[in-house]
């Protein structure tokens, strides 16, 4: 049996290495050294993200004498499989799921203690694990708060958290982030990546973009360093390999993304290893994955803003193959997304792959931001194209597809969206997806598309 398991694991590693290769063909610059006057803010979707992505950052910031804060968007209570393995029981009651979030909070405190950071440097918000993207896309203003499927609550249930009692609405999360950033005034922010496959990771990046736009006249613009965690088949090989570098996935090789790395000393890698293991609720089921981030360096990258031009598609964004969560890999190929403008419309082009025997459909998220209007009142547009049918939602309301146009060829598609549909924004946070049948095949990173100069 042991030999069979070994052979299966070896086959899976070879499959992922071929299907989702990593690359050393991109330029990776060293992250600027920390200084004593730095004010560093690390924003994380779930407890353990700060350790697997930024444990080296935390240690080197402390060594330099810099100020540092870590903010947890959720308590991570939704990972029921990990807790079934950890506690040897199936959580069913609301109180049990809240207990899971309290366990992960305590683990985060212990992990940060191992890295040299005290509890007074940690801020726990407690918004719903696996629900924050839905909040960003749908739950603003008069719309009722998001209600979780597992905890069956619609407000922060953790009494020890800063946001206890806050309703699960976009205004709550945005107000918390703006308050923290406005008070602390960081000059460097580390945050989850806009291309991350996990929806909470996408959501935190989006909330940060809106918060910084709202605060643009109140604080100096901080440097932003997104970190990647969830990407199908990455990093490889799995398990603990402190002798290896962490290198980007192959899909980023020919894009405009700019990579930075932070080198870790031997003792810092050891400390990161121990801090990861302090998340016992997660490592009992996923140590092989989490420990694969304890390597010689940490990686950070972001896309530049896209400033589209007429008749020229810019801002290429690779579309990764897979699902919106860790795992669920597909080997159906890659695509790319680019942007242009035409009179009063934003043009989105998808260069799509051919999938024989499958009917393709396409999805788009378009979140407009205006410096003249409150973001909660702006349109939150979701578009689905299936054949000749166009369906458009503004938040959770189905609306008429006024003025939308579609042109397509054998291996490309262009969607024209009037800017008035988006609320006449200054910029748009945009993402595209492709589907085969009912399954998501490719998803692009969220890009910031500047529409006004």
Say if CB 418 and CB 353 are below 8 A apart.
no
Sign of CA dihedral 44, 50, 56, 61: positive
Tens of pLDDT along 266-314? 999 999 999 999 999 988 888 999 999 999 999 999 999 999 988 778 7
Calculate the CA dihedral of residues 344, 350, 351, 354 and round it to 10 degrees: -140
Reduced to 3 states, what is the DSSP secondary structure of residue 100? Answer: helix
For residue 436, give the H/E element and its range.
Answer: strand 427-436
Distance set, CA 48 to CA 71, 72, 110, 213 (Å): 12, 10, 11, 28
Domains and CATH numbers, the chain: 21-302 (3.40.50.10320), 314-450 (2.60.40)
Tens of pLDDT along 118-151? 999 999 999 999 999 999 999 999 999 999 887 7
| Cis ω before 291 (30° cut-off from 0) | no
pLDDT at 453: 64
Question: With a cut of 50, which residues of the chain have pLDDT below it?
Answer: 1-20, 322-333, 355-357
From CA 432, how far away is CA 159, in angstroms rounded?
38
pTM of the model: 0.90
Beta strands in 198-313 (DSSP E): 223-227, 258-263, 297-302
Can you read off the two tokens belonging to residue 376? 């909660």
């Amino acid at each position: 049996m042991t030999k069979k398991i070994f052979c299966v694991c070896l086959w899976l590693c070879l499959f992922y290495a071929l299907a989702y290769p990593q690359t050393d063909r991109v330029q990776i610059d060293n992250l600027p050294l920390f200084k004593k006057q730095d004010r560093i803010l690390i924003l994380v979707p779930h407890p353990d993200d700060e350790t697997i992505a930024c444990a080296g950052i935390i240690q080197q910031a402390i060594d330099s004498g810099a100020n540092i804060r870590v903010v947890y968007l959720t308590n991570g209570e939704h990972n029921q499989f990990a807790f079934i393995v950890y506690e040897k029981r199936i959580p069913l009651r609301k109180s049990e799921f809240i207990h899971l979030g309290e366990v992960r909070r305590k683990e985060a405190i212990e992990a940060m203690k191992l890295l040299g950071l005290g509890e007074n440097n940690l801020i726990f918000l407690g918004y719903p694990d696996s629900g924050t993207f839905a909040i960003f896309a749908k739950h603003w203003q008069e719309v009722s708060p998001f209600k979780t499927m597992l905890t069956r609550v619609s407000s922060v249930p953790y009494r020890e958290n800063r946001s206890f009692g806050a309703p699960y609405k976009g205004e709550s999360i945005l107000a918390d982030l703006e308050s923290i950033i406005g008070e602390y005034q960081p000059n460097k922010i580390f945050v989850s990546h806009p291309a991350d496959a996990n929806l909470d990771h996408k959501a935190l990046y989006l909330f940060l973009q809106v918060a910084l736009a709202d605060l643009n006249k109140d604080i100096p613009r901080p440097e932003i360093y997104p970190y990647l965690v969830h990407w199908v088949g990455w990093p490889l090989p799995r398990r603990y390999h402190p002798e290896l570098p962490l290198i980007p996935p192959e899909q980023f090789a020919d894009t405009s993304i700019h990579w930075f790395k932070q080198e870790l000393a031997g003792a810092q890698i050891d400390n990161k290893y121990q801090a990861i293991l302090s998340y016992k609720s997660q490592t009992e089921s996923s140590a092989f994955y989490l420990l694969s981030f304890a390597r010689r360096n940490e990686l950070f990258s972001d896309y530049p803003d896209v400033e589209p031009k007429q008749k020229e598609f810019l801002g290429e964004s690779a579309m990764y193959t897979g699902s919106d969560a860790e795992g669920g890999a597909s080997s159906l190929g890659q695509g790319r997304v680019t942007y242009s403008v035409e009179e009063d419309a934003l043009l989105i082009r998808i260069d799509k792959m051919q999938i024989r025997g499958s009917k393709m459909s396409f999805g788009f998220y378009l979140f407009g931001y205006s410096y003249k209007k409150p973001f909660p009142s702006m349109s939150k547009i979701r578009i689905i194209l299936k054949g000749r049918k166009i369906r458009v939602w503004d938040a959770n309301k189905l609306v008429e597809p006024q003025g939308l146009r579609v042109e397509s060829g054998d291996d490309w598609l262009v969607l024209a969206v009037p800017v008035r549909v988006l609320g006449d924004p200054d910029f748009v946070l945009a993402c595209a997806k492709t589907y085969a049948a009912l399954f998501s095949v490719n998803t692009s990173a969220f890009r910031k598309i500047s529409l006004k100069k």
